[in-house]
């Protein structure tokens, strides 16, 4: 039996296609959800990188403590000459015997996963330099240019719990800008630097821009002289403090 015409029309009406407006709405929802997902993944990745960076600094702290034990309680120098070499070896090379998992290129614990990385040249490998994301506090660090010129004793640090030993560094391309806008040129520390961190009020803060670098959401990961690690706000904890004040954590006061 043939169905009434009005029934067929009803079925045709219920089977109509998706309108353009509905398609646009669906696309917009998918785009929003995708953006939220990507942002969440980015935050999770950076959180993991920051945690790995702090773990690196803890290992550097342990290696530094072992170095002190083997060297009559003296601190590892920023740069010093080893007995068997004519080159000035960076502090990272001095610590490598206590960090046997390091690669020939110097990655491993000396490189923050959030940092830029350039492969070292053959000459930098031969000279004992290593690319790295971290630098010793140049404000109170000591350069020991020969075996005879010994570095300082750990007891010379007045406040080991509150004084920065090693920190995130970068070659800042635009130091005069707001720290949130700083750009790390991503050059290998090994090519032009011994691996030190300059802080505000250092005479060469502007002219030799191997400075502390906030690569973790405006924070600088640091290792203190007593071996504990932390994450400091680059503005409130570093830029806005004055040498000699109670809040200053890089002046050894």
pLDDT for the residue 233: 94
d(CA 214, CA 229): 15
Cα-based distances in Å from 5 to 8, 9, 88: 5, 6, 96
**Can you read off the two tokens belonging to residue 169?**
């560094």
Which H or E element spans position 25? helix 20-70
d(CA 234, CA 89): 29
**Domain residue ranges of the chain, discontinuous segments joined by +:** 21-239
pLDDT for the residue 14: 53
Mind listing the pLDDT tens digit of every residue in the chain (253 residues)? Answer: 555 545 555 554 555 667 877 788 888 888 887 777 776 656 667 778 889 999 999 999 999 999 999 988 888 888 776 555 555 677 888 888 898 665 544 457 888 888 765 555 555 555 555 567 888 888 776 554 444 456 778 888 888 999 999 999 888 888 888 888 888 876 544 444 567 888 888 888 888 767 899 989 899 999 999 999 999 999 999 999 888 888 888 887 7
- In the block, which residue shows the tokens 């999770």? 44
């Amino acid at each position: 039996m043939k169905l009434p015409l009005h029934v067929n029309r009803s079925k045709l009406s219920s089977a109509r296609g998706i309108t353009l407006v509905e398609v646009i709405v669906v696309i917009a929802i998918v785009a929003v959800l995708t953006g939220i997902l990507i942002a969440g993944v980015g935050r999770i990745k950076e959180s993991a990188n920051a945690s790995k960076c702090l773990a690196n600094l803890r290992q550097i702290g342990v290696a530094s403590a072992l170095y002190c034990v083997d060297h009559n309680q003296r601190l590892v120098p920023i740069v010093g000459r080893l007995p068997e070499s004519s080159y000035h070896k960076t502090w990272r090379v001095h610590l490598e015997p206590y960090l046997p998992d390091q690669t020939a290129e110097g990655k491993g614990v000396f490189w923050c996963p959030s940092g830029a990385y350039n492969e070292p040249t053959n000459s930098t490998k031969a000279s004992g330099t290593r690319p790295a994301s971290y630098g010793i506090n140049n404000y109170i660090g000591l350069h020991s240019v020969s075996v005879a010129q010994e570095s300082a004793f750990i007891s010379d640090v007045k406040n080991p719990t509150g004084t920065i030993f090693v920190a995130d560094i970068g070659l800042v391309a635009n130091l005069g800008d707001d720290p949130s806008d700083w750009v790390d040129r991503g050059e290998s520390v090994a090519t032009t630097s011994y691996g030190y961190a300059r802080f505000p009020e250092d005479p060469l803060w502007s002219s030799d821009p191997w400075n502390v670098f906030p690569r973790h959401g405006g924070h600088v990961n640091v290792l203190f002289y007593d071996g504990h690690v932390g994450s400091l706000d680059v503005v409130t904890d570093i830029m806005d403090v004055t040498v000699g004040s109670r809040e200053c954590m890089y002046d050894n006061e």
